[in-house]
């Protein structure tokens, strides 16, 4: 189904957002339609306190500017309350078992949990042992909230998702994992352009390819021909050794620069989930140039996440 033909019904069947593998195309479209609606209402000064009086616990084992601010602002704009819990506040999976953590938070009338952490198993265990919605703010394996914001951005720029060619350049990671799934489920043509040594997880790639068109290549010309979107992320994710000169040398040929952008369509946009390191994965003239939509992406984290919270926590 094409997103333009989808008629929102105001609900989804999922109780959690752990990975978009669990979501149907229609549920993703439901989130995107609500995100656009909430964004329009915010811009026009309309209140939408869909979660009035609800509390979202935000667990951060990994720090993040965009994740914290967008979820805090999002739950407030929906009429609810954020509760920030850092790694020093909560010993998830170490001092106290995950099962005990989520069961305790439920007893304190917490209505939902957003967690940004390392092991994806932590997110799965929270959902397994608890009865309140769990939202994956990022794990080492997946970043579904970012992918939803990315879909919203592409939809705004092109008026469609089906048939759009998105090329992800560089190191395969949690962002590219979620983009493969999100793109496949919404009819996009997703290409991962990376060195053979940095290819996506084979199991996950097969899952994405079983849904729709997803391919992997190390050839830039092949990947970028006809590209509508050129996307990249940092070469070194949080917690990785950013002094690894061997990895840097392997990835530098996949830096997004003006030459790379010239291989895509002249109407192509550049995307990056931020933070970005100018001179490494992308050059300044690209990320700060007219084709860049990185701050639209960053803003859309707010709107996409509000839609997720509203659908899961009502």
Output the six-digit token pair for 109. 């009338």
The 10 Å CB-count burial string (b at 16+, else e) for 188-216 is: bbbbbbbeeebebeeebbebbeebbebbb
Give CA–CA dist 265/267, Å, rounded.
5
Q: Is the peptide bond before 179 cis (omega within 30 degrees of 0)?
A: no
**8: which residues sit within 8 A by CB, 6+ positions away?**
29, 30, 33, 34
| Active site amino acids | 116, 143, 146, 233, 273, 301
**7: which residues sit within 8 A by CB, 6+ positions away?**
none
Give the DSSP letter of residue 199: P
């Amino acid at each position: 189904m094409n997103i333009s033909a989808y008629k929102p019904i105001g609900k989804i069947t999922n109780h959690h957002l752990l990975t978009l593998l669990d979501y149907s195309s229609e549920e993703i479209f439901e989130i995107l339609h609500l995100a656009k609606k909430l964004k329009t209402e915010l811009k026009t000064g309309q209140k939408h306190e869909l979660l009035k009086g609800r509390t979202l616990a935000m667990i951060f084992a990994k720090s993040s500017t965009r994740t914290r601010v967008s979820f805090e602002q999002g739950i407030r704009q929906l009429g609810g309350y954020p509760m920030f819990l850092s790694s020093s506040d909560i010993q998830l999976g170490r001092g106290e078992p995950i099962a005990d953590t989520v069961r305790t938070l439920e007893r304190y009338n917490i209505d939902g949990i957003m967690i940004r952490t390392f092991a994806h198993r932590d997110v799965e265990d929270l959902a397994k042992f608890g009865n309140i919605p769990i939202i994956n703010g990022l794990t080492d394996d997946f970043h579904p909230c970012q992918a939803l914001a990315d879909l919203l951005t592409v939809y705004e720029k092109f008026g469609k998702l089906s048939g759009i060619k998105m090329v992800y350049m560089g190191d395969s990671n949690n962002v590219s994992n979620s983009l493969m799934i999100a793109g496949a489920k919404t009819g996009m043509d997703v290409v991962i352009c990376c060195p053979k040594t940095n290819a996506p997880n084979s199991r996950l790639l097969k899952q994405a390819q079983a849904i729709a068109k997803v391919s992997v290549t190390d050839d830039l010309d092949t990947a970028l021909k006809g590209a509508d979107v050129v996307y990249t992320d940092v070469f070194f994710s949080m917690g990785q050794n950013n002094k690894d000169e061997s990895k840097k040398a392997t990835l530098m040929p996949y830096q997004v620069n003006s030459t790379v952008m010239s291989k895509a369509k002249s109407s192509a946009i550049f995307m990056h989930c931020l933070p970005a390191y100018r001179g490494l994965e992308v050059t300044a003239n690209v990320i700060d140039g007219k084709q860049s939509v990185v701050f639209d992406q960053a803003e859309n984290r707010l709107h996409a996440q509000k839609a997720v919270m509203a659908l899961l926590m009502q």
